[in-house]
A and B are shown apart, each in its own frame.
Chain A
Amino acid sequence: MKPRVRTALFLAAAAGAMPALVRALPHFPAFGDHPSPYADRVLASAPVDRHVQNVVTALNFDYRGFDTLGEEFILLCAVTGVTVLLRGSRGEHRSARTGQVEGRPVIPPGEAVTLIARLFGVATFVLGLSVALHATSTPGGGFQGGVLIASGFLLVFLGEGYRGWRAMMQAELMDAVEAAGALVYVGCGLVGVWQGLPYLTNTLPLGTAGSVWAGGLMPVINAGVTCAVLGGFGMLFIEFLEETRVNPDAEQDTEAPKS
């Protein structure tokens, strides 16, 4: 289609959908004021039945924990895909040379940058760890904490340069952390099965509300998710940053044009 035809067709579709949307609009749930019985039950149950203050975490890792298992594997699968697609053309070797856009100077990081990056890196790391640990009581959890910790590593790149970054971030290690996190989640579900109960049944002692250990199985699952997300995002960062390096094979990389 020509761009103009396409735009016209799209606008026609948008206009065509309008009457249906307008007809449905008065029937939409009233914003901020409509019953949600599901939420009421869970909000009442989580603090009592699971000793957990953050109901989002309780839903995530317990009531609807099976969904989260699937989500974790979506993450794992996407990261595996990224690895395959990037490494496939690059090979497994690394390059010591920084890639650069020609005509631009490369400025080595100054000492102030290194210092600031180190400070912030450590702070981000600690914050991430704390966010992940306090999943059951305050906002946050394995998903946010995992990304934060991985971002903390990113500051290593800024401060220590590529060598420091590669010394610290081993792709094999990240793969292992990610896989271990996913396996912990799968394994947590089996605890219940071992006792003759359904998969993912939470049978560990529930602990006191507000403590890091509250929620029985939840802190364990949370730790698994933290590892998986940390490993996954760490892997993403490693593979992406590798793309900014000069690749010795890159010259043969483009396909020969087809006849």
Chain B
Amino acid sequence: MIIAALAPFPVVLPLGVGALLLGVSKHLPRRGPDVLAILTAAATSVICGLLARSAAETGPITYWFGQWHLLGDQVVGISFVIDLASAGVGALVGFLFAATLVFAWGFFEEVHAHFHVIMLVFMAGMVGFCLTGDLINMFVWFELMSVAGFAATGFALRSSAIAGALNFTIVNTVGAYVFLAGIGLLYGQGGALDMVALGRSVAAHPNDPVMALGFVLIASALLTKAAQLPFQMWLGDAHAVAPSPVSVIFSGAMVSIGLFGLAKLGFRVFGGAPEIVGESRRALLVIGLASAVVGAMLALGQRHIKRLLAFSTISHAGIMLTGLSQMSQDGEAGLLAYLFGHGLVKGAMFMLAGFIAAKCGGIDEITLRGRGRDYWPVGIMMALGGLALAGLPFGPMDEGFKLIEHGAADAGQHWIATVLLVSATLTGAAVLRVAGRIFGGWGELSGDERHGETEEEQEPGHQPAVLLAGPAALLLGLGLIGWDDGGALASRAAAALIALPEQPAPALPGSPGPWIAVLCAVAITGFELARRHLPHWFVALVEAFRVPPTRVLQRMQSGLVTDYVTWLAVGLAVLATAFVFAV
């Protein structure tokens, strides 16, 4: 019971400390805001962990704010529904923030601690988004993390950062209005805002086109946040130009949390509408696979390291969405495990990108060739990360992949796993190529990536190298350690998330797939870096297959917000048609 009383604090604590910092930071010692923010993030993580453990032992905790729950038979209050999955993701978010704040120690030298205020509020928004059981409340936290993200992206005040922040802000603001409209439709039709209560209304009228439209609107907003096709365009700009610590959070947490919210919406609210669930299986699968492949191809064609990582995030989020689209316990367990592993590994990769920007004097893969030789341990870490992204069979990412693979096989769709492995291979190869070129000095002759967009960006590099690389090593280590029965834990969390009786976790035999993927990734990297020593006809042949589609995709990714909003409209129209005519 004592633990349950902690429920509001993962959100309220960072908000309170953030407001306090805004008011008094001038009177604190120079490193005061750093220390305070790190401690707050760590405390948030610990509280979420305690809540998760309690939820795992005694079942989900439902916490009604202001003691409002029912009036008559109508739910009027706002609740936090704290189950193993929500609190677990909350703990991951808190941990990532704590590590990032250590990484960002002294990153912004300014008197007002505005950076820390924004980061703490950002974290509160994410954790609230994970824990909430109410639709409007979900919107509030969604909007809070959007606004914090907007402010944080432009923080560096370079023109590219401002342009990226503009694209990010405009697209996601449209997304927020779409979310709001969806809430209106669901409330008008279902008469409730609590997700479970709304789920009962949906189950009573499962074939209502207005409800389907409401689902499409909210799902589109969440897919925008999760950067899935065709709503993904803003991400390449925003993640590439945001300060590295902010990019760590964007890629490690914010994107995947959008998918987590979508899973909640799909199961808690629309679980009782078989047509919508069925259409989700189809539509989300297509979107997920397309995002996985497109993101991977674009990643391989970049030279701006953060932009490369950003596109790989689209690809990996696509893999997660494929798991989500199975709408089953295995699929969701895969989503959760992959979300954990990916958050840790990709967070570490963005920290290493920040390390490069600080210590090697740039962020462009080609111009920095060989400039990282002195920092070879960092190069090894980056290579390990690349292998992990390609599918190295250790750690939570691998557990997640196996669960998604198992779920797809159950549905008789064995080919899905192959597509996902291919895209993971490509993103892994892209990261390996960066590591090889910068830290090994290989790859004198650059391939198609020399046509990618780039800029000369440098970040403050006065921090000790250990402070920059340490947190990354920690995250990478955790991301590669296999947890005992991690798959079983993910299955339990997924059962709690989808609010169905738990099925026994599937036995997941190791398959040669991941090893093949890793070998392929190494082979592709070898091809990319040893271009000069290969026969010309061979290189030309490979390029002939690879370059034209990449060029088309790059042209669509134009950097113009007007194009992005057009694609958003197209996505809305397609999804609306699919879902409204499915019911």
A residues near B (Cβ < 8 Å) are 1, 6, 9-10, 12-14, 16-17, 19-21, 23-24, 27-29, 34-38, 40-42, 44-45, 62-67, 69-71, 73-74, 76-78, 80-81, 83-85, 88-89, 172, 175-176, 178-180, 182-183, 186-187, 189-190, 192-193, 196-202, 255, 258
**A-side contacts of B125, CB under 8 Å:** 70, 73
Q: Is the CB of B71 within 8 A of A67?
A: no
Q: Is the CB of A63 within 8 A of B15?
A: no
Q: Is the CB of B15 within 8 A of A24?
A: no
Bound Cα distance from A200 to B15, whole angstroms: 14
Q: Is the CB of B76 within 8 A of A63?
A: yes
Q: Is the CB of B22 within 8 A of A14?
A: no
Question: Which A residue's beta carbon lies closest to that of B194?
Answer: A38
Q: Is the CB of B15 within 8 A of A16?
A: no
Bound Cα distance from A65 to B76, whole angstroms: 12
From B33-41, B116-124, B304-312, B325-333, give the one contacting chain A. Answer: B116-124
Tell me whether B549 is interfacial, beta carbon within 8 Å.
no
Q: Is the CB of A197 within 8 A of B67?
A: yes
Cβ-defined partner of B8 (8 Å) among A27, A172, A189: A189
Tell me whether B467 is interfacial, beta carbon within 8 Å.
no
Tell me whether B563 is interfacial, beta carbon within 8 Å.
yes
Q: Is the CB of A65 within 8 A of B66?
A: yes
A28 to chain B, nearest CB (A): 6
B330 to chain A, nearest CB (A): 32
- Given contacts A42-B76, A73-B124, whether A192 and B66 have CB atoms under 8 Å apart is yes
Instruction: Name, among B22, B566, B579, the residue most crowded by chain A CB atoms within 10 Å (CB to CB).
Output: B22
Bound Cα distance from A175 to B23, whole angstroms: 6
Cβ-defined partner of B577 (8 Å) among A16, A28, A36, A37: A16
Bound Cα distance from A22 to B96, whole angstroms: 46
A165 to chain B, nearest CB (A): 22
From B148-156, B347-355, B442-450, B500-508, give the one contacting chain A. Answer: B148-156
| Extra 16 A-B pairs, beta carbons < 8 Å, given A21-B580, A192-B66, A202-B66 | A13-B570, A17-B576, A24-B210, A38-B74, A41-B71, A41-B72, A67-B136, A70-B140, A73-B15, A73-B124, A76-B18, A77-B117, A77-B151, A81-B118, A175-B112, A258-B455
B59 to chain A, nearest CB (A): 18
Cβ-defined partner of A20 (8 Å) among B12, B136, B155, B580: B580
Q: Is the CB of A78 within 8 A of B576?
A: no
- Given contacts A38-B74, A78-B147, whether A198 and B456 have CB atoms under 8 Å apart is no
Question: Which B residue's beta carbon lies closest to that of A200?
Answer: B66
**A-side contacts of B418, CB under 8 Å:** none
Which applies to chain A's interface (DSSP): helix, strand, loop or mixed? helix
B 88-127 contacts with A by CB, 8 A:
112, 114-115, 117-118, 121-122, 124-125
Bound Cα distance from A196 to B16, whole angstroms: 19
A59 to chain B, nearest CB (A): 9
B 118-164 contacts with A by CB, 8 A:
118, 121-122, 124-125, 128, 136-137, 140-141, 143-144, 147-148, 150-152, 154-155, 157-159, 162
Cβ-defined partner of B117 (8 Å) among A13, A80, A192: A80
B449 to chain A, nearest CB (A): 19
Q: Is the CB of B118 within 8 A of A24?
A: no
Cβ-defined partner of B66 (8 Å) among A21, A66, A71: A66
- Given contacts A23-B581, A193-B8, whether A201 and B66 have CB atoms under 8 Å apart is yes
Question: Which B residue's beta carbon lies closest to that of A39?
Answer: B191
Q: Is the CB of B67 within 8 A of A198?
A: yes
B 171-212 contacts with A by CB, 8 A:
187-189, 191-193, 208-210, 212
**B-side contacts of A71, CB under 8 Å:** 140
Q: Is the CB of A179 within 8 A of B191?
A: no
**B-side contacts of A182, CB under 8 Å:** 15, 19, 22
A24 to chain B, nearest CB (A): 4
- Given contacts A28-B210, A189-B8, whether A200 and B140 have CB atoms under 8 Å apart is no
Tell me whether B483 is interfacial, beta carbon within 8 Å.
no
- Given contacts A80-B22, A81-B147, whether A198 and B577 have CB atoms under 8 Å apart is no
Tell me whether B20 is interfacial, beta carbon within 8 Å.
yes
**B-side contacts of A24, CB under 8 Å:** 209-210, 212-213, 580
Cβ-defined partner of B64 (8 Å) among A6, A14, A36, A198: A198
**B-side contacts of A67, CB under 8 Å:** 78, 136-137, 140
Question: Which A residue's beta carbon lies closest to that of B210?
Answer: A27
B 527-583 contacts with A by CB, 8 A:
558, 560, 562-563, 566, 569-570, 572-574, 576-577, 579-581
A-B contact pairs, 26 of them (CB 8 A): A9-B570, A12-B570, A13-B566, A13-B570, A13-B572, A16-B573, A23-B209, A27-B208, A29-B210, A38-B74, A42-B71, A44-B71, A66-B66, A70-B137, A73-B121, A73-B144, A74-B140, A77-B148, A84-B118, A88-B155, A172-B26, A190-B12, A192-B66, A193-B8, A198-B64, A199-B8
B181 to chain A, nearest CB (A): 12
- Given contacts A27-B208, A34-B188, A80-B151, whether A199 and B137 have CB atoms under 8 Å apart is no
Q: Is the CB of B191 within 8 A of A175?
A: no
Q: Is the CB of B71 within 8 A of A179?
A: no
Tell me whether B415 is interfacial, beta carbon within 8 Å.
no
In the complex, per-residue mask of B439-474: 1 if CB is within 8 Å of any chain A CB, else 0: 000000000000000011000000000000000000
Cβ-defined partner of B71 (8 Å) among A21, A45, A74, A84: A45
Q: Is the CB of A27 within 8 A of B209?
A: yes
The 9 closest A-B pairs by CB, nearest first: A81-B151, A179-B23, A70-B140, A41-B71, A17-B573, A20-B580, A182-B19, A199-B8, A24-B209
Q: Is the CB of A255 within 8 A of B159?
A: yes
Q: Is the CB of B67 within 8 A of A201?
A: yes
Tell me whether B77 is interfacial, beta carbon within 8 Å.
yes
Question: Which B residue's beta carbon lies closest to that of A189?
Answer: B12
**B-side contacts of A187, CB under 8 Å:** 16
- Given contacts A70-B144, A74-B143, whether A84 and B151 have CB atoms under 8 Å apart is yes
A191 to chain B, nearest CB (A): 11
**A-side contacts of B144, CB under 8 Å:** 70, 73-74, 77
**B-side contacts of A34, CB under 8 Å:** 188
Cβ-defined partner of B19 (8 Å) among A29, A183, A192: A183
Q: Is the CB of B114 within 8 A of A198?
A: no
B 15-50 contacts with A by CB, 8 A:
15-16, 18-20, 22-24, 26
**A-side contacts of B72, CB under 8 Å:** 41
**A-side contacts of B208, CB under 8 Å:** 27
Bound Cα distance from A242 to B175, whole angstroms: 32
Tell me whether B63 is interfacial, beta carbon within 8 Å.
yes
- Given contacts A17-B576, A42-B71, A63-B66, whether A78 and B23 have CB atoms under 8 Å apart is no
Tell me whether B376 is interfacial, beta carbon within 8 Å.
no
Cβ-defined partner of A66 (8 Å) among B137, B154, B558, B569: B137
Bound Cα distance from A42 to B192, whole angstroms: 12
**A-side contacts of B117, CB under 8 Å:** 76-77, 80
**A-side contacts of B187, CB under 8 Å:** 38
Question: Which B residue's beta carbon lies closest to that of A82?
Answer: B151
Q: Is the CB of B8 within 8 A of A84?
A: no
**A-side contacts of B118, CB under 8 Å:** 77, 80-81, 84
**A-side contacts of B209, CB under 8 Å:** 20, 23-24, 27
**B-side contacts of A13, CB under 8 Å:** 566, 569-570, 572-574
